[in-house]
Structure 1
Amino acid sequence: MDWLHGIFKHSPEIALFLSLALGYLIGKIKFGKFQLGGVAGSLLVAVIVSQVGVEIDSGVKAVLFALFIYAVGYESGPGFFNALGKQSIKEILLAVVMAASGLATVVVMAKLFGLDKGLAAGVAAGGLTQSAIIGTAGDAIAKLGLAADETQRLQANVAIGYAVTYVFGSFGAIIVCVNILPKLMGRSIRDDAIAAEAKQQAGVQVLAEGQQAAAPDLIGRLYVVAAGKARSVAQIEEAADPPVTIERVKRGGKFIEVSPQLTLQADDIVLVVGRRAAVVASAALLGKEVYGVDGMALTMQKRDVVITRKELDGQTVAQIRGATAGGVRHGVYVVQLKRMGKPLSMTPDLVVQAGDTVTLYGAEHDVRRVASAVGEVIIPSSKTDFVYLGAGLVVGLLIGLLVVKVGGIPLTLGSGGGALLAGLLFGWYRAKRQTFGEMPPGAVQILKDLGLAGFVAVVGLQSGLQAVTTIKEHGITIFGVGVVVTIVPMIITMLIGRYVLRYENTAIFAGALSGSRSANPAFGEVLDKAENAIPTVPFAITYALANVLLTLLGPLIVALA
C-alpha cells in the first residue's frame, strides 16, 4: 500500500474525491429496506481510505462545511423567520431534552465504566458530534487546579475520546433519523415532506421543474366568426366572464390591427387568449373553433415582478383590481402571487405587501406595460451573485468568532452556527428584494451536496486512522460507551418528541431531531430523502439552540463525571 500512500501524500484531494465517488456508490446499495445513503457511505469509505495514511488540511473541512450550512440557511431563510414564535416551542423543548438526556447519559456511563473527566468529555464531544465541547471541557479542566502533567493528561484524553467516538457519532445519528424514526412514525420522510409542502401551499398548485398541467388554466384558441356574430372587440372581451383578450384578427387572408373599437365580421379568424373556461365559452359569442391557421401563432410571456409600488402595499386584491383601469391590465393575467417564496391563494381579500412577487402572463408588450406600473421585473439568470454570496459567508464567519462569557463559560455559535445565521438572514432579505443576490436552486443544491459530503469525508480521512489505532490501544470500551452516548439520547428525545410533544410529520420531526443533535450528516440524509426543503426550518431552530446547549455540556461533564 506504499504506492497508494505516496499518491495520497502527493495529492490528498484524490483521497477526498475517491471517498465521495465510492461512498455514493455504496450508498445506493439497498440491504432489504435499509439504504446507507451517500453521506454515510462517504464517511465509511473515508475511514477505510484513512488507514492508508492521508493528510488533508483542516481548512478544506471548514470551507466545505461553511458552504453547506450557509446554503441550507439561504434556502430556508424566508420560511425560518415566518416560523418563529409560539409555533416553535416544540423545537425549543426538543433541543433542551436532547441536551439534558445527553448530559445524563454521559455522566452515568462515565461512572459505570470508570472514565476520567477527560475521556468522559471526549466521548460527549464525539458521541454527540459537538466539537466545541473539546474547547469548553479543556478550559474547565485547566481551571481545576490540578498538577500540570495531570491537566495535560486529561486534556489529551478529551481528544482521544473524541477521535474514537466521532465517526459513529455521525453514522449513528443518520441511522436514527433516516431509518429508525420513519419506522416509529409509520410513514416515510418523503411522503410526509410532500404532504407538508402541499399544506404550506394551501391548495395552490405548484409544478416542479419538468412538469406542466395537462389542462393549463391560461390558453389561446382560434375561432371563425359566424354570420350574425358581428360585434366589436371590446364587446366580445367584456361579455366573457372572466374577460378574455382578442390578440389577433385575420380578415381575407390579411392581418388587421386590433383595437377595442374594431368590429368583427363574418369569416374573420380571431385568436382569443384567457382563462380556459372563458375562452371555451367564447365559442358561443364567435363561432366555430379552427386549427393551424398560418400566422396566427403568438408567443406569450411569463414574467416575475417584485411589487415595489407603494400604492399597492397593504391593498387587497379586490381593491387593486377595482382601482386599476381596464386599459392598464388589458391582455395581462396574474398567474401566481408569492410571498417569501411561498405561493399564496389569490382570494379577493388577500392583502398584497411590498416585496411580494407576482407572475404575469401575456404578450410581451402587455406584460412590459403592466410590469412598469407594478415594480421591478426579475430577470431569470443561471449565474450566482458572488458578491452577495461572499458577503454572506464573511458576515457569518465573523459572527462565529464572537464569544460571550456567561458565568465564566465561553459561548459561541462557531463558524457553523454563524454561517447558518447569516444564510438565514441573507436568504430572507433576498426573498424580499429579489433584484440582486441571485443564487439559482441548482447552485444551492451543489453547495449543499458537495459541502456536506466533502465535510464528512474529510472528517473520516482525518479521524479514521486515529480512531482505529486508539481502539486497538484502549480496547472497545470507549467506542462502546460512545455508541450508547450517540444512540440513547436520540432515542429518548425521539420518543418524547413523538408521544409528549406530539410530532406528527416525519419530515419535520427528522429535521428537528437532527438539528437538536447538531448532526449535520444526518440532516443531509434527511434532506436527500425529503427531496424538498421542508425539514430545514425545524433543523435551523434546533441546530442554533444545540450549538449553545451542547457546548455548555463540557464544563458540566467535567464537574459531574
Structure 2
Amino acid sequence: MEWILKTIQSSSELAIFLTLALGFAIGQIKIKGFSLGSVTGVLLMGVLIGQLDISISPTVKSAFFLLFLFAVGYSVGPQFVHGLKKEGLPQIAFAALVCVSCLLVGWVAAIIAGFDMGNAAGLLAGANTISAVIGVASDTINQLNIDSSHKQQLINQIPVAYAVTYIFGTAGTAWFLSSIGPKLLGKDIIEETKKYEESLGGAIQDDDSSLEYAYDGATFRVIKASSSFFNQKRTVQEVEDLLVDKGWPVYVEKIRTTSSNEIISDPTPNTTINKGDKMVLNGPLDTILSDENLVGKEVIDLELLDFKVENLKVMVANKEIIGKCLHTLKYNKNRHGIVILKIHRGKTTIPLLKNVTIQRGDVIEIEGRKADVDKFATYLGYPERPTNVTDILYIGLGIFLGGILGSLSIRIGNIPLSLSASGGVLIMGIIFGWLRSLRPTFGYIPAPSIWLMNNLGLNMFIAVVGINAGPDFISGLKTAGVSLFIAGIFVSIVPMLIGILLGRYVFKFNPAITLGACAGARTTTAALGALEDTLQSKVPALSYTTTYAVGNTLLIIWGVVIVLLMS
C-alpha cells in the first residue's frame, strides 16, 4: 500500500484517472432513485485523494475545461440562434429573466450570509447545477489584482460550496417543479397539457391518428390483392390513395405480378396492379392490419421481402421546410416509403405532433428502404451517416479563436472586464455550432464525440479541482457547511418560483410550457424528466430546448459576473 501511495504521489496523472474511476462508480449509486451524478462523485473522490497532498498543474484542468465548453456551445448553438428569431423571443426573454434572477438571488444570499467570492461562486454553481461556473469563476479570480495565496484560498472554496449545494440544486429543483409547480399554476395542468397537445395536432385519445408518433418503425408486409377493389386494374397511386384515406400513409414498395411472376422493385405511381398480384406494403403495423381487408390478405413471400432497410439521422437544412409544420411532411412526395421516428432538438427529443414546427439544425431520424431514405434525406438536408471521424480542425480552431476572444479585456480600476478564455470558447462554440447548421458539410462532430468532450472534459477538470482543493476542503466545509446548505435551498427555489409567476402572469404560457421553460433555463434535465412523468406528456420539451441553450450560456457567464459583483 505504501508503494502504491508513493507511486500516485510521484505520478500525479494516475491520481486523476483513479479519481475518475472511483467518482463515476460513486456517482452511479442510486438510493430511492436519486444519485449524486458523475460530477459530484468525481469531485468528492478528488477531495479524498487530494488528502495525499498531490499537486497537479492547472494547465491540465484548463485544457479539458475548454474542450468541455466548446462542446457545450457547439451543442446549443443552433437552438440559441434560432431562439433569437421572432417566434422564439418570448422564451429567450423568459430564460434571460430567470437566469438574471438566479444571479441576483445568489448574490443577495451570499451578501446576507457574509460569504466571500469563492463561496458565492460555488453557491451559484451548485444551487443552479451549472458545474462550468467553477472554472469560469476560477479564471476570473486569477485575473484579479490580489495576493496569489488569497486567490488560491478563494478558488479552493468554490468546490466546497458547490458540493454542499449541488444535491438540493438537482433533486430539490426537480421536486419543486414537478410537485409544487403544478399546484402554483392553479389549474388542472394535465387537462391543460392535453388541450395544448390538441392545438398542436395531438389528441386526448391515444389511438387518434393525428399523433405522428403512432409511427413506431417501418413495417413491411406482403399482401395479396384479392379484394373486390381489384375487380378492375388499379394503379399504385390508387391503392395508396385508398389506404391513406383510412389513416396514415401506407406505401406500395414492391410488386410480384401473377401473370409473369416478375418482381417490380421500384413501382411508379402509374404501375398497374391486377387481382392476385402480391404487394409489399410499408406503414404503421396497426394501419396495415386495419387496412388489410380493403386490399386483401397477408401472405408469405420471403423473396419479395428481401431488401435493405436503413435507419438514418438527417440534419434539417432545406429552407423549404424550415418553419413549416411537421404535418406538411406527411404527404410530401419526397417522403414516399419513409417513417419519421424521432426529431432531436439539441439534447431533447421533441413530441411528434403535426403542428410542431421544424427548425434549422433539427435532426430528424427516418427509416425505410435505402433508396427512399437517400431521396428523403437529400430533400431534408444533410444525412449524418454513422462515422467515428471528428473534425479536429474545426474543434482546434474554435477553441483557439474563443481563447483569443476571451483574452480581450478592459480594466475599470483594478477590475478587468473580459469574458476570460472559458467564456470566449463558450461563445465561439455557439457560433461554430450555428455555422455548421447552416453549412453541414464541414465541422461534423459525432454524438459519441460530443458525449466524450462533455463528460471527459468536465470530469477531468473537476477531478483536478477536487485534488488540488483537497487539503483545504474539510476546513472550508466546517466553516460554512450549514449556512451554505441553507443558502443553497434559497438560491435553488426562489428563481423557480419567480419563473413560474413570470410564465403565468407575464408571458401567459401554457402551464406545461412554463414548467419546461423553467427546467430549461436552469439546465436541469432531471426536472424535465420528472415533469414529463407528472404531466404524462412530452410538451415541456418544446420549451426546454431554447431556454436550455440560453440558460447554459448565461449561467456559465454568470461565473464571471458573480466574482466581479463580489469583488
Name 2:394's counterpart in structure 1: 388
The answer (yes or no) to whether the contact 1:125–1:162 under 8 Å persists in 2 is no
The answer (yes or no) to whether the contact 1:401–1:415 under 8 Å persists in 2 is yes
1:242-257 map, 5 Å: 242=244, 244-245=251-252, 247-251=254-258, 254-257=261-264
The CA deviation string for residues 295-316 of structure 1, in whole angstroms up to 9 with x for no partner, is 4534344556667677778999
Name 1:231's counterpart in structure 2: 233
Moved more, 534-543 or 455-464: 534-543
Moved more, 77-86 or 360-369: 360-369
Please give the secondary structure, in 2, of the residue aligned with 1:240. Answer: helix
Moved more, 307-316 or 86-95: 307-316
2:100 is the alignment partner of 1:96 = yes
- Would the alpha carbon gap of residues 421 and 530 (structure 1) be closer, same or farther in structure 2, given more than 3 Å must change? farther
Name 1:290's counterpart in structure 2: 299
Distance in 2, matches of 1:128 and 1:293, equals 62
Distance in 2, matches of 1:321 and 1:90, equals 33
1:302-321 map, 5 Å: none
2:308 corresponds, among 290, 296, 299, to: 299
2:405 corresponds, among 382, 385, 399, to: 399
Distance in 1, matches of 2:528 and 2:7, equals 34
1:173 corresponds, among 152, 165, 169, to: 165
Distance in 2, matches of 1:353 and 1:512, equals 20
Amino acid at match of 1:87: Q
The answer (yes or no) to whether the contact 1:226–1:267 under 8 Å persists in 2 is no
- Would the alpha carbon gap of residues 453 and 188 (structure 1) be closer, same or farther in structure 2, given more than 3 Å must change? farther
What is the TM-score of this pair, normalised by structure 1? 0.71
Amino acid at match of 1:91: A
The structure having more radius of gyration, on CA atoms, is 1
1:23-172 map, 5 Å: 23-31=23-31, 35-84=35-84, 85-110=89-114, 120-128=116-124, 152=147, 156-163=149-156, 165-172=157-164
Distance in 1, matches of 2:34 and 2:350, equals 35
Once the two structures are TM-superposed, the CA of residue 223 in structure 1 deviates from its matched residue by 0.6
Once the two structures are TM-superposed, the CA of residue 44 in structure 1 deviates from its matched residue by 1.2
Name 2:279's counterpart in structure 1: 270
Please give the secondary structure, in 2, of the residue aligned with 1:56. Answer: coil
Name 1:145's counterpart in structure 2: none
- Would the alpha carbon gap of residues 430 and 344 (structure 1) be closer, same or farther in structure 2, given more than 3 Å must change? farther
Amino acid at match of 2:169: C
Please give the secondary structure, in 1, of the residue aligned with 2:25. Answer: helix
> RMSD value over aligned CA atoms?
5.0
1:551 corresponds, among 549, 560, 563, to: 560
Please give the secondary structure, in 2, of the residue aligned with 1:381. Answer: coil
What is the TM-score of this pair, normalised by structure 2? 0.70
Amino acid at match of 1:38: S
- Would the alpha carbon gap of residues 203 and 453 (structure 1) be closer, same or farther in structure 2, given more than 3 Å must change? farther
The answer (yes or no) to whether the contact 2:174–2:530 under 8 Å persists in 1 is no
Name 1:220's counterpart in structure 2: 221
- Would the alpha carbon gap of residues 360 and 13 (structure 1) be closer, same or farther in structure 2, given more than 3 Å must change? closer
Once the two structures are TM-superposed, the CA of residue 7 in structure 1 deviates from its matched residue by 1.1
The answer (yes or no) to whether the contact 1:336–1:346 under 8 Å persists in 2 is no
Distance in 2, matches of 1:436 and 1:136, equals 33
Distance in 2, matches of 1:449 and 1:200, equals 38
**Structure 1: gaps (5+ residues):** 111-118, 143-150, 206-211, 515-522
Distance in 2, matches of 1:368 and 1:495, equals 48
- Would the alpha carbon gap of residues 70 and 309 (structure 1) be closer, same or farther in structure 2, given more than 3 Å must change? closer
Once the two structures are TM-superposed, the CA of residue 462 in structure 1 deviates from its matched residue by 0.7
Distance in 2, matches of 1:28 and 1:170, equals 19
The answer (yes or no) to whether the contact 1:38–1:453 under 8 Å persists in 2 is yes
Identity in percent: 26
Distance in 1, matches of 2:468 and 2:485, equals 20
Moved more, 356-365 or 313-322: 313-322
Name 1:455's counterpart in structure 2: 461
Once the two structures are TM-superposed, the CA of residue 50 in structure 1 deviates from its matched residue by 0.8
Distance in 2, matches of 1:11 and 1:184, equals 45
- Would the alpha carbon gap of residues 233 and 340 (structure 1) be closer, same or farther in structure 2, given more than 3 Å must change? same
Name 1:7's counterpart in structure 2: 7
The answer (yes or no) to whether the contact 1:124–1:482 under 8 Å persists in 2 is no
Once the two structures are TM-superposed, the CA of residue 49 in structure 1 deviates from its matched residue by 0.9
**Structure 2: gaps (5+ residues):** 126-132, 182-188, 204-212, 245-249, 505-510, 533-537
- Would the alpha carbon gap of residues 45 and 225 (structure 1) be closer, same or farther in structure 2, given more than 3 Å must change? same
Distance in 1, matches of 2:546 and 2:74, equals 11
The CA deviation string for residues 37-78 of structure 1, in whole angstroms up to 9 with x for no partner, is 332122111111111121222122112222223222222223
2:521 corresponds, among 508, 512, 525, to: 512
Name 2:247's counterpart in structure 1: none
- Would the alpha carbon gap of residues 377 and 549 (structure 1) be closer, same or farther in structure 2, given more than 3 Å must change? closer
The answer (yes or no) to whether the contact 2:172–2:492 under 8 Å persists in 1 is no
Amino acid at match of 1:255: E
- Would the alpha carbon gap of residues 296 and 451 (structure 1) be closer, same or farther in structure 2, given more than 3 Å must change? closer
Distance in 1, matches of 2:30 and 2:325, equals 52
Distance in 2, matches of 1:539 and 1:353, equals 16
- Would the alpha carbon gap of residues 160 and 368 (structure 1) be closer, same or farther in structure 2, given more than 3 Å must change? closer
Distance in 1, matches of 2:120 and 2:334, equals 63
Once the two structures are TM-superposed, the CA of residue 22 in structure 1 deviates from its matched residue by 1.8
Distance in 1, matches of 2:356 and 2:500, equals 35
- Would the alpha carbon gap of residues 42 and 526 (structure 1) be closer, same or farther in structure 2, given more than 3 Å must change? farther
Distance in 1, matches of 2:175 and 2:378, equals 53
- Would the alpha carbon gap of residues 384 and 509 (structure 1) be closer, same or farther in structure 2, given more than 3 Å must change? same
